[in-house]
Amino acid sequence: MQQQSHAKETRMPLVDLHSHSHYSDGSLAPADLVALAARAGITMLALTDHDSVDGLVEAQAAADEHGIQLVPGVELSTIWNGQSIHIVGLGINPTEPSLQRGLAQQAQARADRAKAIGDRLSELGMPGAYEGALALANSPDAISRTHYGQWLLEKGHVTHVQQAFDKYLGPRKPASVPMPWASLSEVINWIKQAGGVAVIAHPGRYPLTRTKLRALLADFVAAGGEAMEVATATEKPEMIKYLAQLSRQFGLLASQGSDYHGKPAPWIALGRFANLPSGCEPVWTRWLGETLQ
């Protein structure tokens, strides 16, 4: 039994289906991200920037150079019953018109919120927040709360990025601004029209009871969702076991990934997360044509 577990430990980090570049809230250029993945021994990587596919061409060129299979992806924000939920699209055609229209809609919503957050921080006695966050982001429509957290840290308003969320940026905090994201069904439809697989990102991370999590999964499946993340860098063993159970019960393919960002979350490394529990059907068999198990 121990030998079997050890074998899985050396095999599963080869597939990382959740990562970010500086085209959203990651710190690395796509080419540098792919190079890092190659050094980590990863053979299949998905670039899943928030509401952006702008880094995929650069990432593909680097993947060709390093001999890595790149799965084109995106991480889309949505609202379900008042709760912000992230849906990863894997294996997408990034030029598909309906996806492009959806991304433009999301970008405008993100840009509007970014400006509103900056205004609120200025009212709280921290002028220049918007300009500071913009300098850290790739463009106005790429500004995220993480960029604001980094700026607050650099200016000494907080001692670490998480404190920025706890004091200012998190739900019901002074600089919190609700986001008018698209609906769950809209986001899944964009992904499916682009030929991709819709995956619920890090489902154990949302502040949902187990009953509400099951309701989310039921609605996700009803809307055409096909997979869920089971193993990620931040999940504890018992939660991974429970998520694996849910993936089987709801007939969902299982995904895994580090959710790598680089400097904003230095404790997370590419390819470093727990293995998928036995009995899960890996989503990456869609692109490999064979299982790694």
pLDDT in tens, 124-149: 999 999 999 999 987 888 898 999 99
Average pLDDT over residues 270-278: 92
pLDDT score of 292: 39
Token pair belonging to 69: 């299979």
pLDDT in tens, 70-96: 999 999 999 999 888 999 999 999 999
pLDDT at position 62 over 50: yes
pLDDT score of 5: 40
Distance CA 20, CA 252 (A): 24
Token pair belonging to 57: 């061409």
Residues 173, 287: contact at Cβ < 8 Å?
no
The identity of residue 275, as a single letter, is N
In the chain, CATH 3.20.20.140 covers: 2-97+188-288
Strand partners, 232: 257
User: Do β-strands 83-90 and 197-200 pair in parallel, antiparallel, or remain unpaired?
Assistant: antiparallel
Q: What is each CA distance from 77 to 68, 88, 159, 181, in whole angstroms?
A: 27, 9, 28, 6
- pTM for the structure as a whole: 0.83
Distance CA 36, CA 28 (A): 10
Q: Does 3.90.230.10 match the CATH number of domain 2-97+188-288?
A: no
Q: Does 1.10.150.650 match the CATH number of domain 105-169?
A: yes
- Weakest mean pLDDT among 53-62, 138-147, 169-178: 138-147
- Weakest mean pLDDT among 51-60, 138-147, 248-257: 138-147
